[in-house]
């Protein structure tokens, strides 16, 4: 969400720090925060004024009207404050519907004043600008300020002046206070803008002869502006609404959300509840909560939350295990249900996210069975069939009851099943697999719509079903009056004000997209672009809809895509100006810019007159920036779709980015050709669900737009409804509104005034909000009611009263749409067209492989490392475990080289070998080459490589050879003397024997260190003992024919492989044969070579030239005839 409430202490801290005003603001930073754990001695040392002044104490937990509730202690000394707190702290209190415990309190100096010195001031944001409310009578008895206060609206990008304040707000203020108040209010407004407040209320604001006092304050800030305001805000803690505890699991999910490009939300409503949800999508999550509450589950609903935006398998696993952990802490006498629901995804790979959920279910299968948890799953979208299959399999293997449904089942039908209101089918009908739509598997050319049913949201009974605990008859679908529910008029006075202040603005353009519309895509979103081109092709467009892409992080180039069967190139430009100049036919901009760059790139795009429509996909753009975009768009005559949207679709013509999902859904929902029904919604996922519902109940979609979930979408419901009203091909309109805002009232006004004459089917989601004791912020930033008229219940009633077709619940939306459509067909308004099969589009190789439709031999095979998941894995061991077990470099080498977890002593031995082979001075050939190369000005890699290339039989390569020679001799039963004699007879050197400097009288300490360790730790050293016997023979002939470090490591490593218990004899011999032991020398000596390279660079050594006197020039004598 964007607008988040902050504590009074935080709000005052911001004000005292950053307000710029000549008014004397008193009591700056004079507040003390108190909780049950407070040390009063430390508190009074930090705030000595507590001991000397009269005080005020009050809870700081987002409680409104504290004074009227008796929750403010006034004019007390410190002891009085402590006594007052004893009566209130950690006590349960009821505020409205909410019950909560008073935990956090604020103590401030008491300010003596008269009633005439109290004022009220409030600033809050709306779409058009910021409203400043002022009333000359503040305090507890201020009453209905909306009706009484003077108000001034400051338009977006305008400034507030002191003269405006005096003339329009301070008309009832004494002259001696006008100057101070005007200056303070202007300073307050500037602070409000600079720190991205969305709401700021001070009541009372006290003005005395000494200055201005801010007594009570309530505020909200735009949390999405964190990246702009971080330096001033610091670390802000957002307290939960009163009546809801702040749980560590909520903070954990919030932290996951902050670190992810996906959206992860969790709010705990009743941790002891039996109904838990894990829903994909901001809009869908609200719909599921509504349905649970509609069916009587409000008191048992444990949580609200959502995951969306293509979270990874690991992120979904972390989210799922948090839910499962919470729901398996306390048993419920009726068992528990988990609803894993969602709309039809646009771009999220359902199978990938379900893998994370399946992992979590397997991890918690014991507690889930112990707590008698039943799981209901309904999902659609890319690869959903595989996801559902995997989910069904885990139910069978774990014994947990898991009921799985796809797009053939109405989205919320599983709620009725879970709560016992409808039967559970034993064999739910399954829609065709992705491949059936994209590959010609039959001779039939008909559109694959055979599984479609006319009415799907009512319960079905058949011989094939299991009766639920409480069976409930279905609603008849033949009469509209049996579906619509007549309620008492619950429209409040707030609605009348909203209606009066609303106006039907004229649409900028009736037609946004045509058959020949050309778009420019901002951002390197190749998957989305390919999806658009595939849609174009299946719609039989003559040319691709994407003319060019803009990506400022690379130079101009061409990007390859598919157009049907053939490959095409789409130009990519670094600069938007170049793209616009070279493609004057482009009139749509689709922006995949990040939330940080979306504002600037959109403002730039609107400077080009050719652009008529801009879709902004990014979520999390600060509201102040969005309002500036809207103002500029209104000035330029540009239609903005978004922000926080998936976009929109016009079947047969054009689609924005990932809208409509993948081709299987495009074809299943008949989006390749126009129907007669147009819709507008906020949610992207729910827009895809509407595609599904409308395709199953009517002749299909004519156009659909998701305006986005932010509080201020670039275009409104009414903008698009008016376009649809003026479009001849559209015969009926569907609107999926939601809690928050008042835009739906403009539709009511349009219907009443006769501006809208086509049938409008409308449902506002979020009806559950009025049933919760405390405020719940739903998934969309705009889904929060700030007054009664913004509730979904009030808006649904107003729409019903205005003449719109409003169902009883979302569960029956499809029935209402079908009924209205059937009436239009019956009276001849709609004449359904004959289906025309679309052309076949080849499936991408990568997607076909993911679906398991094809197989191809891999170009590479690996068995040591896997970097594809959330965590790097070495030979099956996650990298976190490697560090947790403190395996060290030797342990990692064991995993990567030998695919084994080696014993601790083996890991230590490997590390010792690397240490002793790391370097042997600058004179050896490898180091010499590295030094010469470094001094020639070459880079690190080149210098290191030149040194490594010298390693071979003569230098450093004796480890493998020594291991092989000694092993062969030992295994064949040769006595050490026989082995020495044979090698002498064959004229071969014994590898690993001999040293230029060291001898039996001057032993190599490296060998001695290794020998002591091996003898002490290895289970057996047969080959080493054999080599030492050989050494006795060779040193008796010549003292320097010792077992050198290469030979020692070689034979000791064979002993290690053969006796550590981790390898068979064949495996041990194979590692020796394939050269694994020389790797020890290569790896160790690389450290030394790099050291020599860095040493030469540090010493700034110049080009090396070998001295003449160290070269013996032996040339042939001059020969003459």
**Pairing state between β 118-125 and 197-208:** antiparallel
According to the model, what pLDDT value does residue 780 have?
Answer: 58
Contact 219, 201 (CB under 8 A): yes
> Could you give the CA distance from residue 395 to residue 373 in angstroms, rounded to a whole number?
11
Contacts of 600 (CB under 8 A, 6+ apart): none
> Could you give the CA distance from residue 647 to residue 10 in angstroms, rounded to a whole number?
37
According to the model, what pLDDT value does residue 784 have?
Answer: 65
According to the model, what pLDDT value does residue 446 have?
Answer: 36
CA distances from 921 to 927, 931, 1047, 1091 (A): 7, 11, 19, 11
According to the model, what pLDDT value does residue 1011 have?
Answer: 95
927: how many CB neighbours lie within 10 A of its CB?
21
- Nearest to 657, CA basis, from 718, 593, 712: 593
Region of 461 (left: φ > 0; alpha: ψ -120 to 50; beta: rest) is beta
Torsion of Cα atoms, 653 then 657 then 663 then 664, to 10°: -120
Q: Where are the beta strands (DSSP E) in 184-243?
A: 197-208, 211-214, 217-222
Q: Which residues form the catalytic set?
A: 780
According to the model, what pLDDT value does residue 775 have?
Answer: 60
Structure token digits, residue 1028:
């030492």
Task: Report the interhelical angle of 248-258 vs 313-327 (nearest 10°).
Answer: 170
Which contiguous run of DSSP H or E holds residue 970? helix 958-971
Label residue 49 exposed, middle or buried (CB < 10 Å: 0-12, 13-18, 19+).
middle
According to the model, what pLDDT value does residue 478 have?
Answer: 36
SS3 at position 648:
strand
H helices within 557-683, ranges in order? Answer: 576-582, 598-605, 623-636, 663-668
**Pairing state between β 217-222 and 3-6:** antiparallel
Question: pTM of the prediction?
Answer: 0.80
Q: What is the pLDDT of residues 994-1047, one digit of tens each?
A: 988 899 999 999 999 999 999 999 999 999 999 999 999 999 999 999 999 999
Rg of the Cα atoms in the chain: 38
Low-confidence ranges of the chain (pLDDT < 50): 432-433, 435-507
CA distances from 718 to 299, 505, 641, 657 (A): 36, 8, 13, 23
According to the model, what pLDDT value does residue 837 have?
Answer: 84
According to the model, what pLDDT value does residue 507 have?
Answer: 46
> Could you give the CA distance from residue 200 to residue 217 in angstroms, rounded to a whole number?
7
According to the model, what pLDDT value does residue 1121 have?
Answer: 52
Torsion of Cα atoms, 219 then 225 then 229 then 230, to 10°: 100
- Nearest to 433, CA basis, from 6, 848, 922, 779: 848
Torsion of Cα atoms, 584 then 590 then 594 then 595, to 10°: 110
Q: What is the pLDDT of residues 642-695, one digit of tens each?
A: 999 999 999 999 999 999 988 888 998 999 999 999 999 998 889 999 999 999
């Amino acid at each position: 969400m964007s607008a988040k409430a902050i504590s009074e202490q935080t709000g005052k801290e911001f004000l005292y720090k950053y307000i710029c005003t000549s008014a004397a603001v008193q009591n700056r930073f004079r507040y003390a925060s108190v909780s049950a754990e407070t040390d009063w001695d430390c508190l009074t040392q930090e705030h000595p004024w507590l001991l000397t002044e009269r005080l005020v104490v009050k809870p700081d937990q987002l409680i409104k009207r504290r004074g009227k509730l008796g929750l403010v202690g006034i004019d007390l000394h410190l002891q009085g404050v402590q006594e007052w707190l004893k009566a209130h702290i950690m006590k349960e209190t009821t505020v409205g519907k909410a019950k909560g415990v008073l935990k956090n309190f604020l103590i401030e100096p008491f300010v003596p004043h008269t009633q005439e010195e109290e004022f009220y001031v409030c600033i809050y944001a709306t779409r058009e600008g910021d409203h400043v409310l002022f009333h000359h009578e503040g305090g507890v008895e201020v009453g209905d300020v909306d009706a009484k206060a003077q108000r001034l609206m400051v338009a977006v990008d305008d400034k507030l002046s002191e003269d405006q304040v005096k003339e329009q707000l301070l008309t009832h203020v004494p002259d001696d206070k006008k100057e101070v108040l005007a200056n303070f209010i202007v300073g307050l407004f500037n602070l409000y803008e600079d720190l991205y407040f969305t709401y700021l209320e001070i009541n009372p604001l006290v003005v005395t002869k000494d200055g201005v006092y801010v007594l009570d304050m309530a505020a909200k800030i735009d949390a999405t502006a964190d990246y702009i305001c971080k330096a001033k805000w610091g670390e802000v803690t957002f307290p939960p609404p009163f009546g809801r505890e702040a749980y560590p699991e909520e903070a954990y999910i919030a932290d996951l959300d902050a670190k992810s490009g996906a959206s992860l939300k969790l709010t705990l409503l009743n941790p002891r509840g039996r109904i838990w949800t894990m829903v994909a999508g901001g809009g869908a999550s609200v719909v599921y909560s509504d349905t649970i509450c509609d069916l009587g589950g409000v008191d048992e609903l444990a949580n609200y939350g959502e995951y969306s935006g293509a979270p990874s398998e690991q992120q979904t696993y972390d989210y799922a295990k948090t839910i499962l952990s919470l729901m398996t802490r306390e048993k419920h006498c009726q068992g528990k249900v988990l609803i894993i629901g969602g709309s039809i995804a646009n771009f999220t790979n359902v199978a990938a996210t379900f893998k994370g959920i399946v992992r979590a279910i397997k991890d918690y299968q014991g507690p889930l069975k112990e707590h008698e948890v039943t799981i209901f799953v309904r999902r659609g979208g890319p690869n959903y069939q595989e996801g559902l299959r995997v989910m069904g399999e885990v139910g069978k293997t774990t014994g947990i009851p898991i009921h799985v449904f796809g797009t053939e089942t109405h989205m919320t039908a599983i709620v009725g099943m879970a709560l016992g209101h409808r039967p559970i089918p034993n064999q739910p009908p399954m829609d065709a697999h992705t491949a059936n739509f994209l590959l010609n598997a039959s001779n039939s050319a008909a559109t694959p719509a055979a599984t479609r049913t006319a009415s799907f949201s009512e319960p079905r009974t058949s011989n094939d079903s299991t009766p639920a605990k409480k069976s409930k008859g279905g609603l008849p679908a033949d009469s509209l009056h049996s579906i619509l529910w007549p309620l008492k008029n619950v429209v409040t006075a707030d609605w009348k004000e909203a209606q009066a202040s609303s106006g039907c603005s004229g649409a900028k353009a009736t037609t946004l997209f045509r058959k020949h519309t050309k778009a420019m895509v901002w951002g390197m979103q190749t998957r989305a672009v390919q999806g658009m081109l595939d849609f174009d092709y299946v719609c039989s467009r003559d040319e691709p809809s994407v003319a060019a892409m803009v990506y400022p992080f690379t130079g101009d180039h061409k990007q390859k895509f598919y157009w049907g069967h053939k490959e095409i190139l789409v130009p990519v430009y670094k600069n938007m100006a170049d793209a616009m100049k070279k493609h004057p036919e482009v009139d749509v901009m689709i922006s995949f810019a990040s939330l940080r760059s979306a504002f600037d790139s959109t403002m730039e795009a609107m400077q080009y007159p050719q652009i008529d429509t801009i879709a902004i996909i990014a979520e999390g753009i600060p509201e102040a920036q969005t309002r500036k975009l809207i103002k500029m768009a209104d000035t330029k005559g540009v239609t903005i779709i978004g922000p926080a949207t998936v976009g929109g679709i016009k079947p047969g013509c054009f689609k924005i980015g990932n809208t409509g999902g993948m081709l299987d859904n495009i074809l299943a929902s008949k989006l390749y050709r126009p129907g007669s029904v147009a819709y507008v919604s906020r949610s992207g996922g729910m827009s895809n669900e509407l595609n599904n519902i409308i395709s199953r109940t009517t002749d299909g979609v004519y156009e659909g737009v998701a305006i986005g979930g932010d509080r201020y979408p670039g275009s409104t419901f009414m903008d698009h409804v008016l376009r649809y009203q003026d479009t001849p091909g559209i015969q009926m309109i569907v609107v999926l509104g939601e809690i928050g805002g008042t835009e739906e009232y403009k539709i009511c006004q349009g219907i009443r005034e006769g501006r809208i004459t086509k049938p409008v089917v409308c449902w506002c989601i979020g009806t559950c909000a009025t049933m919760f004791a405390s405020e719940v912020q739903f998934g969309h930033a705009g889904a929060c009611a700030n007054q009664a008229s913004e509730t979904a219940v009030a808006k649904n009633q107003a729409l019903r009263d205005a003449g719109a077709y409003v169902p009883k619940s979302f569960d029956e939306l499809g029935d209402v749409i079908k009924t209205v459509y059937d009436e239009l067909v019956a009276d001849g308004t709609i004449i359904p067209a004959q289906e025309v099969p679309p052309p076949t589009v080849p499936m991408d190789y990568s997607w076909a492989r993911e679906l398991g439709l094809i197989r191809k031999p891999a170009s590479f095979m690996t068995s040591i490392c896997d970097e594809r998941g959330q965590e790097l894995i070495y030979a099956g061991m996650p990298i976190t475990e490697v560090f947790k077990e403190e395996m060290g470099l030797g342990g990692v080498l064991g995993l990567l080289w030998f695919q084994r977890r080696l014993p601790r002593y083996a890991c230590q031995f490997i590390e010792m070998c690397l240490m002793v082979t790391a370097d042997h001075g600058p004179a050896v050939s490898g180091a010499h080459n590295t030094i010469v190369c470094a001094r020639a000005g070459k880079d690190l890699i080149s210098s290191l490589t030149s040194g490594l290339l010298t390693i071979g039989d003569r230098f450093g390569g004796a480890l493998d050879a020594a291991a092989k020679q000694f092993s062969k001799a030992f295994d064949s039963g040769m006595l050490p003397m026989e082995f020495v004699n044979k090698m002498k007879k064959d004229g071969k050197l014994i590898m690993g024997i001999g040293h230029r400097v060291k001898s039996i009288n001057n032993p190599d300490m490296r060998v001695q260190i290794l020998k002591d360790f091996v003898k002490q730790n290895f289970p057996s050293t047969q080959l080493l003992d054999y080599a030492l016997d050989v050494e006795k023979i060779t040193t008796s002939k010549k003292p320097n024919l010792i077992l050198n470090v290469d030979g020692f490591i070689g034979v000791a490593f064979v002993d290690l492989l053969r006796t550590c218990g981790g390898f068979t004899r064949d495996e041990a011999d194979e590692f020796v044969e394939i050269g694994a032991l020389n790797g020890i020398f290569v790896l160790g000596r690389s450290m030394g070579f790099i050291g020599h390279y860095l040493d030469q660079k540090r010493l700034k050594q110049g080009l090396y030239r070998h001295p003449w006197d160290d070269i013996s020039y032996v040339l042939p004598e001059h020969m003459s005839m």
